[in-house]
Copies of this chain bind each other. A is one copy, B any other.
């Protein structure tokens, strides 16, 4: 398609490193589904589990912690009788939207392509 940019090793390795950086943040089977779900608004722990098909509580808990550590998700404990915890994307977390949206878009096209 465009073999010309193929020969700029600097741009190339910068590109690769950037991709790897993103992959590191988004590593794990559930990060992207979690962010995708939270992009629709804040959710409680149990609601998140219900909204993400197949995820186990342990995994949700673990990946939420990693997302929180990286500043993508904010965790809020509410003062209710049985504890309630709400998760929501931070502003930084929302900056991942273009990636999520492109993945959702491609997946939709792909499914249509496979179907016919």
Contacts and interface: CB of A to CB of B under 8 A. Distances in A.
A99 B102 contact: yes
B33 A20 contact: yes
**Majority DSSP secondary structure for residues of A touching B:** helix
Contacts of A105: 18, 98
Interface string A10-35: 00101111111111010001001100
Interface string A81-112: 00000000100001110111011111111110
A108 B2 CA distance: 22
A107 B17 CA distance: 8
Q: How many chain copies does the complex carry?
A: 2
Give me the 7 closest cross-chain CB pairs, A-B, nearest first.
Answer: A18-B107, A6-B41, A21-B107, A22-B107, A3-B41, A22-B103, A18-B108
A68 B4 CA distance: 24
Nearest to A42: B3
Nearest to A24: B107
B53 A33 contact: no
